[in-house]
């Protein structure tokens, strides 16, 4: 199928218009296969995402956003761009492959990733040693940009941003809606101890402490946990009325299964992490996930640039976007491509971009601090309604009114 965007579709006002190529490319082709018949590329990008394992869905969704952004750049008359993709199952090896790809494809200009904080830690360290610029699009663990790397820049948000959104929802939406003082809530925090969700838990504890929100029960569990029955039993006995949970898709299913077996639920759940941002989760749980809140990257909107990107996604992949990960990756990749115009190099060219909030397709802006972190990215409050996520964040114009009970 063909993925077309008009050249009037802006990734952000003030940034170059990016249009999708009209070349018809079979959906199943890998990026390297897509470019075999093209002329030599002046820009070669490595795309590193998990295409196998537990995070493959999130990785593939992010990859689709990158692929659409690159096709848009080609259609807008940018210098030839070539994508080489690799599986983040072995990040260090993948970076080594990128580093050695120069003889065949030309030197890798930059690496884009990663949809996995665990993979990002290893991949960005390897890229730093190889002196390859690395643009992290969506792995959120705070410490990724806290290591003093010179070749790393992150366009996406952090776990601190997610925690700030969750704590603001508790203090500003849920507590007032329940007619309760925030410090009387019985809050539980449940999280996978992996890199992203563990980082979120630390940030959430700090955010709640600053907001004087009491966390009555804090429970971490192994990434390979097979059930969450014991954790649900503890919450039931502690009479938790608000649960904050950070986990992968499989963990979300385990939680709702355990709650069903225990015949118990809190009054509200706020989810964070990839498990709460994919349409497959809603499909698997059906009405059971209804009214669950979530914090995450901004969703596709019904109008504007993100709606045009969603339409291009549907034409290209013959399905609706599976979550905000593709939009997040599209926005980040488009920023990278904009920075690379005219033979400029990363990370300096990207760090020089100054775009106010609201300028990018998902509502973000661009302003990078000394660590390489985009300080104009942010999370939004969302809610599962009718099998799909909708924005309920009071700070977002036109957001839906929140439902305060599961």
262 Cβ contact partners less than 8 Å away, ≥ 6 residues apart: 229, 232, 233, 236
Checking if the pLDDT of 129 tops 90, the result is yes
pLDDT on residue 4: 35
The position carrying tokens 């996520």 is 389
User: CB-hemisphere CA count at 13 Å for 234?
Assistant: 15
Please indicate, yes or no, if residue 44 is contained in any of the structural domains: yes
The whole-number pLDDT of residue 101 equals 78
194 and 111 share one domain: no
Give the pLDDT score at 41: 57
Q: Of 73-82, 271-280, 324-333, where does mean pLDDT reach its minimum?
A: 73-82
pTM, full prediction: 0.89
Which of 33-42, 258-267, 292-301, 341-350 comes out lowest in average pLDDT?
33-42
Whether residues 244 and 387 share a domain: the answer is yes
Complete edge-to-edge strand list for the sheet that includes strand 187-192? 215-221, 187-192, 242-246, 268-272, 293-296, 380-385, 388-391
- Determine the structural domain holding residue 307 and report its residue range: 31-157+300-375
Q: What is the pLDDT of residue 334?
A: 97
Task: Check pLDDT > 80 for residue 373.
Answer: yes
pLDDT confidence tier of residue 106, bands split at 50, 70 and 90: confident
Q: Please check the confidence at residue 117 and state whether its pLDDT lies above 70.
A: yes
User: pLDDT grade, residue 11 (50/70/90)?
Assistant: very low
Residues 118 and 166 in one domain: no
Grade residue 383 by pLDDT with cuts at 50, 70 and 90: very high
Residue predicted with more confidence, 82 or 244: 244
Q: pLDDT digit string (tens) for 23-73?
A: 322 333 333 333 333 445 579 999 999 999 989 999 999 999 999 999 999
| Mean pLDDT value across residues 258-268 | 98
Which are the contacts of 344, defined by CB distance < 8 A and separation ≥ 6?
none
* Number of domains into which the chain is organized: 2
Q: Which residues contact 348 (CB under 8 A, 6 or more apart)?
A: none
d(CA 187, CA 209) in angstroms, rounded, equals 12
pLDDT in tens, 138-185: 999 999 999 999 999 999 999 999 999 999 999 999 999 999 999 999
Could you tell me the two tokens for 55? 């995070």
**Dihedral of the CA atoms 264, 270, 276, 277 (nearest 10)?**
150
What is the rounded average pLDDT for all residues in the chain?
Answer: 89
Q: How far is CA 326 from CA 101, 113, 370, in A?
A: 26, 12, 27
As a whole number, mean pLDDT of residues 277-285 equals 95
Mean pLDDT value of segment 113-129 = 97
pLDDT at 170: 98
170 and 149: one domain?
Answer: no
In a domain, 254, yes or no: yes
pLDDT tier at 357, thresholds 50, 70, 90: very high
- Cα angle, residue 45 at apex, residues 322 and 376 outer, rounded to 5°: 60
Q: Is residue 39 part of a domain?
A: yes
Least confident stretch, 55-59, 95-99, 295-299, 367-371? 95-99
Q: What angle do CA 295, 297, 298 make, to 5 degrees?
A: 100
Q: What percent of the chain has pLDDT over 90?
A: 83
For residue 217, the tally of other CB atoms under 10 A from its CB is 17
Q: Residue 49 has what pLDDT? A: 98
289 plus 315 within the same structural domain: no
- Does one domain contain both 337 and 386? no
283 and 214 in one domain? yes
pLDDT of residue 21: 31
Residue 100 sits in the same domain as residue 89: yes
Q: Note the pLDDT of residue 301.
A: 96
- Domain-located, residue 333: yes
Long-range own/partner contacts, residues 371-375 (CB < 8 A, 24 or more apart): 371/145, 371/146, 371/148, 372/145, 372/149, 372/152, 372/153, 372/154, 372/347, 373/145, 373/153, 373/154, 373/158, 374/153, 374/154, 374/155, 374/156, 374/157
CATH of the domain at 282: 3.40.50.2300
Residue 19 falls inside a structural domain: no
The pLDDT, as a whole number, for residue 107 is: 84
Q: Are residues 173 and 286 in the same domain?
A: yes
**Beta-strand relationship, 380-385 and 293-296:** antiparallel
Shared domain for 265 and 386, answered yes or no, is: yes
109 and 188 share a domain? no
In a domain, 168, yes or no: yes
Please work out, in degrees rounded to the nearest 5, the angle formed at the alpha carbon of residue 288 by the alpha carbons of 284 and 291. Answer: 115
Instruction: Name 192's bridge partners.
Output: 221
Statement to judge: residues 36 and 142 lie in one domain: yes
Convert the pLDDT of each residue in 207-253 to its tens digit: 999 999 999 999 999 999 999 999 999 999 999 999 999 999 999 99
| Residue 88 resides in a domain | yes
- Whether 150 is in a domain gets the answer yes
């Amino acid at each position: 199928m063909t993925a077309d965007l008009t050249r009037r579709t802006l990734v952000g006002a003030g940034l170059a218009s990016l249009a999708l190529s009209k070349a018809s490319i079979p959906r199943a082709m890998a990026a390297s296969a897509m470019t075999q018949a093209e002329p030599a590329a002046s820009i070669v990008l490595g795309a590193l995402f998990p295409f196998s394992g537990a995070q493959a869905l999130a990785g593939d969704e992010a990859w689709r956003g990158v692929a659409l952004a690159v096709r848009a750049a080609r259609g807008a008359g940018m210098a030839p761009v070539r994508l080489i993709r690799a599986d983040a199952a072995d990040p260090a090896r993948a970076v080594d492959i990128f580093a050695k790809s120069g003889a065949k494809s030309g030197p890798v200009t930059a690496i884009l990733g990663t949809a996995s904080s665990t993979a990002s830690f290893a991949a960005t360290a390897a890229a730093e040693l190889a002196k390859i610029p690395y643009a992290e699009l969506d792995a959120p663990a705070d410490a990724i940009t806290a290591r003093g790397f010179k070749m790393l820049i992150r366009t996406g948000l952090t776990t601190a941003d997610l925690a700030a959104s969750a704590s603001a929802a508790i203090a500003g939406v849920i507590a007032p809606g329940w007619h309760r003082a925030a410090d009387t809530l019985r809050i539980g925090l449940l999280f996978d101890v992996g890199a992203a969700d563990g980082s979120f838990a630390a940030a959430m504890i700090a955010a709640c402490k600053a907001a004087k929100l009491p966390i009555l029960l804090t429970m971490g569990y192994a990434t390979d946990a097979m059930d969450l029955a014991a954790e649900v039993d503890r919450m039931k006995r502690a009479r938790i009325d608000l649960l904050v949970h950070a986990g992968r898709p499989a963990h979300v299913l385990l939680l709702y299964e355990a709650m069903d077996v225990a015949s118990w639920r809190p009054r509200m759940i706020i989810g964070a992490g990839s498990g709460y941002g994919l349409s497959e989760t809603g499909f698997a749980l059906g009405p059971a996930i209804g009214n669950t809140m979530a914090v995450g990257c901004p969703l596709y909107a019904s109008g504007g640039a993100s709606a045009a990107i969603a339409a291009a996604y549907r034409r290209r992949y013959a399905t609706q976007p599976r979550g905000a990960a593709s939009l997040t990756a599209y926005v980040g990749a488009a920023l990278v491509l904009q920075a690379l115009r005219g033979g400029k190099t990363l990370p300096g060219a990207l760090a020089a971009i100054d775009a106010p909030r609201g300028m990018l397709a998902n509502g973000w802006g661009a302003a990078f601090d000394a660590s390489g972190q985009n300080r104009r990215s942010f999370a939004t409050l969302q809610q599962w309604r009718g099998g799909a996520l909708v924005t309920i964040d009071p700070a977002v114009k036109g957001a839906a009114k929140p439902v305060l009970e599961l």
